Amino acid sequence: LASIELFLSLLGKYLALSFLSHHGTKSFEQATAEGDIIIGGLFPIHESVNVTVNYDGSENQICDRFSTANLVQSLIMVQALEEINQKQELGNLTLGYLILDSCGDVTTALRKIPSFMKGNCNTSAQQSSPVLAVIGGYYSEIAIAVTRLLNLEYIPEISYGATSGLLSDKTRFPSFMRTVPQDDHQARAISEILDNNGWTWVGVLTTDGEYGRYITERLWYYTNQKGICFAFTSVLPDDLNDYSLGKSIESTVKTIIDNENVSVIVSFAKPDHMMYIFQKLLNNPQGTRRVWLASDIWSQSPEILNTKKHTLSDIGTIIGVTFKSGNTTKFERYLDDLNENPNHHKNNPFLSTLHGLTSSEELKTMIYPSAVFSIELAVKAIAQAVEDLCTDRDCKTKLAGQSWTERQHRALRKAKFHMDGKNYSFDPHGDLNAEYDIILWNQTSESLDVHDIVAHYSILQSSLTFISQEGNVTSKCTDSCQPGYSKTSVSGQPHCCYQCEPCFKEFESNLNILMILCSSKCLPRKIDFLKWGDVYLIVLLSFTSLGAVLTIVVGIIFLAHWNTPVVRSSVGPISIILLLSLMITFTSVILFGGPPNSYQCQARQVVFGLSFTLCVSCIMVKSFKIVLAFEFDPDTQNVLKKLYKPYLIIAVCMAGQVVIVTTWLVLSPPSTDSEITQDNMKLIFCNEKLIPAFGAMLAYIGLLALICFGVAYKGRKLPDSYNDAKFITFAMLIYFISWIMFGPVYVNVTDKYIPAVEMVVILISAYGILFCQFFTKCYIILCKKEANTEKSFRRDIRNYSRDRKGSEDELSSKGIENPTFQLVCVLKYVISN
């Protein structure tokens, strides 16, 4: 059985090679250079074949559409091989080449392939040096056919442009490798570009070849996952000489013009296809400005647009996906040398086509940096494999035969080669996955610049990184639904085409206004309020907690030193009530945070209003007490003593505020309310409703504070031991300033931070009283104990009496007998009450 299989294999190989070698009698143009090892090259130097039929039924096949850009690509291979020979990277081994023209046609390419295989089939002396590997072909359709034939001799094919994902199948294509990523990655990169720009309604131009079919299918797979739809897909003949090409171009142009709302078109067509399409579109009076997303096959082909008649702006914006770019400096020097020494390449008949009409500067404009990278890397890979094989072998002789090419194939798959300081190798599928460059075409004064890199796509990370972005183009089937609307499907239309229906009042569409996609249903609106986790609320609650703790500490200090002159002169019981009211005030701040409800809305203003009224009432009582103690006029003093009923004063003051808040709660109590914000969120807040009542509550506290300020200001020059009046004045000034600022801020703030404004003002007022009323006394109690004695107080009063302008004579003249005795009575009165 094994013998039969071997016989059939050899018979099939013989018949295939005999047919291809003898089909036609024409000899083919080829560029050659002698060497110990020959590297084959297959380039589409002509891009199509023109077939004519003679009268006798025979066919004439002529390659046409000469491509200078593709000739330049073949020279990249020549330059890379010559550089290796010049540097003697392989020691005494030299690399030669045999370059053929595929003419962009599968049949033509297959007819020329036996030229690569003759040296391996005939171990006699027809060709002294074998072809060990072939660089090319560029198109996937050609590469698939060629690699199947080359595999009969185990000759590896390394493509610099064939990107069809089918070629990654090593069961079907074991001898194929490439220095470019396969199209699945390019399709994913294009889908990321579309998604990143919010383009959900796009047109697609493709061909009926292997490349076009595969990449279009993969693009549909990835875009479908991102909610991107194809408005149309136009398929063009892959063969540029196909008789139906003209009609296909006309149909495609009509489709583009008819779809006015399609602003973005992805094209996998060939450069000539795009040249014909642009020519037709530019002749259309309706205008053709679009965003064209070019695949690698034409993204660096500026010749498709006639810049003598039109500019890039006439056609729109062109964004291209290209393979990783290489360094073109060495190759540009090579082209300069080529122009100066035309006899250097007499063995390259393709150069004679130029007839000296093209200068090196013109050739430089046709350099594709991505081709430089891919072709040079293919040459490097072959050279490294040869070096690995020849370390322990004599590679100068007897290299022909299947066993050598088979070993070369295995060495290539394992080779680790480097270029421009980076290491590369083929993966198990024979692919080399470098990144993609995203380019933007730019119009210059004389030509088109197709080398402006604006982004990179990493295959390993599947991520798109923009260096810069251009413009804001919208391409959608239906405009995005506005907030408050949701999309409903339209029968017979893709999911990107929909109608926008209004949502109910309590619902919103889940439209993210930063995205192009909109909702497919109405959802309850997102609720917004001053949340417990909000950083501002956390800061305010931290200050609230600190104030409450300090209030407790002060209370403990006062109780622990209850019988000392400082505490007794501060009217100890009133001070304790004042501290209690401050604690309640700090607590009321907590009611301004979190999700509002009706009970919370009512409680927070009532608790604050009553607790702060109690604070100010206690301070007012203390103000009266100090002024009363230092009032030496007997008549005035008698009147003040009759009026000075501290607890009754506090009760009367509190009663006034109770009447105000009770009226407020009965007539129109505060409650929760909501409104729709600019961010389309439902803001829940407390509506004070009866604003006059809210104003009356604050005004009543302000009136009491004003009385405190007036009384305290009168006693501002009292002895240092009785400087409560001075600090009461400061505390009331802080209160007035903070609440005056509160008014305009409260009116102008409209979002969830309205409660935070009042919280800040309450905290400032409470801290002002706590610091001014108690911290100096705590300092004396804890740090200056010698000042907390009756002796110290008596000394302060005597000094005060001696420094008064009225002196004892003046007091006596007013009918006040024995002023010194009176001052002693003041001391006893103050520290005993």
The full DSSP string for 21-45 is HHS------EEEE--SEEEEEEE-S
Sign of CA dihedral 319, 43, 143, 38: negative
Nearest 5°: CA angle at 539, between 533 and 542? 105
Which range has the worst mean pLDDT, 466-475, 533-542, 772-781? 466-475
Spatial CA neighbour of 74 closest among 339, 344, 451, 348: 348
Per-residue pLDDT tens over the stretch 98-114: 999 999 999 999 999 98
Helix or strand holding residue 362 (H, E)? helix 360-364
Pairing of strands 290-294, 316-323: parallel
Question: Is 275 within 8 Å of 244 (Cβ atoms)?
Answer: no
Spatial CA neighbour of 336 closest among 299, 300, 362: 362
Mean pLDDT of 515-522: 47
Cα–Cα distance between 664 and 697 in angstroms, integer? Answer: 9
User: Can you read off the two tokens belonging to residue 692?
Assistant: 């006059």
Question: Is 322 within 8 Å of 437 (Cβ atoms)?
Answer: yes
Per-residue pLDDT tens over the stretch 628-658: 665 555 666 666 667 778 889 999 999 999 9
Domains of the chain, start order: 535-806 (1.20.1070.10)
Higher pLDDT, 574 or 342: 574
> Helices in 151-301 by DSSP H: which ranges?
183-197, 210-225, 245-258, 271-282
Most confident of the following: 1-15, 231-245, 333-347, 738-752? 231-245
Q: Which DSSP symbol is given to 310?
A: -
Q: Is the pLDDT of residue 273 over 90?
A: yes
- Return the residue matching tokens 């037709």: 280
Confidence bin at 471 (pLDDT 50/70/90): low
Spatial neighbors of 3 by CB under 8 A, at least 6 apart, are none
Question: Is 594 within 8 Å of 531 (Cβ atoms)?
Answer: yes
Confidence bin at 823 (pLDDT 50/70/90): very low
Question: Is 436 within 8 Å of 324 (Cβ atoms)?
Answer: yes
Strand-by-strand arrangement of the 682-687 sheet? 527-528, 682-687, 671-676
| Cis peptide bond N-terminal to 492, omega within 30 | no
- Considering all CA atoms of the chain, what is the largest pairwise distance in Å, rounded to the nearest integer? 153
- Cα–Cα distances (Å) from 742 to 584, 588, 735, 757, in that order, read 21, 17, 11, 7
Spatial CA neighbour of 706 closest among 583, 609, 623, 608: 623
Cα–Cα distance between 323 and 377 in angstroms, integer? Answer: 12
Helix or strand holding residue 73 (H, E)? helix 68-87
Cα–Cα distance between 559 and 567 in angstroms, integer? Answer: 9
Nearest 5°: CA angle at 441, between 439 and 447? 135
Q: Is the pLDDT of residue 425 over 60?
A: yes
Side chain identity at residue 395, one-letter code: C
Cα–Cα distance between 722 and 805 in angstroms, integer? Answer: 19
Sign of CA dihedral 822, 827, 831, 832: negative
Quote the pLDDT of residue 477.
73
Report how far Cα 521 is from the mean position of its chain's Cα atoms.
27
Cα–Cα distance between 631 and 592 in angstroms, integer? Answer: 44
Quote the pLDDT of residue 828.
46
Q: Is the pLDDT of residue 119 over 80?
A: no
Spatial neighbors of 520 by CB under 8 A, at least 6 apart, are 486, 487, 489, 498
- Return the residue matching tokens 């796009």: 202
User: Can you read off the two tokens belonging to residue 646?
Assistant: 């501290």
Helix or strand holding residue 822 (H, E)? helix 819-832
Spatial CA neighbour of 157 closest among 550, 426, 516: 426
Spatial CA neighbour of 639 closest among 652, 653, 655, 627: 627
Spatial neighbors of 40 by CB under 8 A, at least 6 apart, are 97, 98, 99, 100, 116, 131, 133, 134, 135, 136, 155
pTM: 0.57
Spatial neighbors of 515 by CB under 8 A, at least 6 apart, are 198
Which range has the worst mean pLDDT, 444-448, 571-575, 798-802, 816-820? 816-820
Give the chain's mean pLDDT: 81
Question: Is 20 within 8 Å of 111 (Cβ atoms)?
Answer: yes
Neighbours of 779 (CB within 10 A): 12
- In the three-class reduction of DSSP (H, G, I as helix; E, B as strand; rest coil), residue 459 is classed as coil
- In the three-class reduction of DSSP (H, G, I as helix; E, B as strand; rest coil), residue 697 is classed as helix
Which range has the worst mean pLDDT, 105-109, 230-234, 803-807? 803-807
Quote the pLDDT of residue 654.
93
Give the burial class of 733: count Cβ atoms within 10 A of its Cβ; 0-12 exposed, 13-18 middle, 19 or more buried. Answer: middle
- Return the residue matching tokens 């063995």: 347
Question: Is 331 within 8 Å of 366 (Cβ atoms)?
Answer: no
User: Can you read off the two tokens belonging to residue 623?
Assistant: 């103000």
Per-residue pLDDT tens over the stretch 567-615: 887 777 888 999 999 999 999 999 999 899 988 998 999 999 999 999 9
Q: Is the pLDDT of residue 73 over 50?
A: yes
Residues written for the chain: 833
Spatial CA neighbour of 735 closest among 709, 760, 768, 759: 768
Confidence bin at 405 (pLDDT 50/70/90): confident
Quote the pLDDT of residue 25.
34
Mean pLDDT of 40-44: 95
> Helices in 113-269 by DSSP H: which ranges?
114-121, 140-150, 183-197, 210-225, 245-258
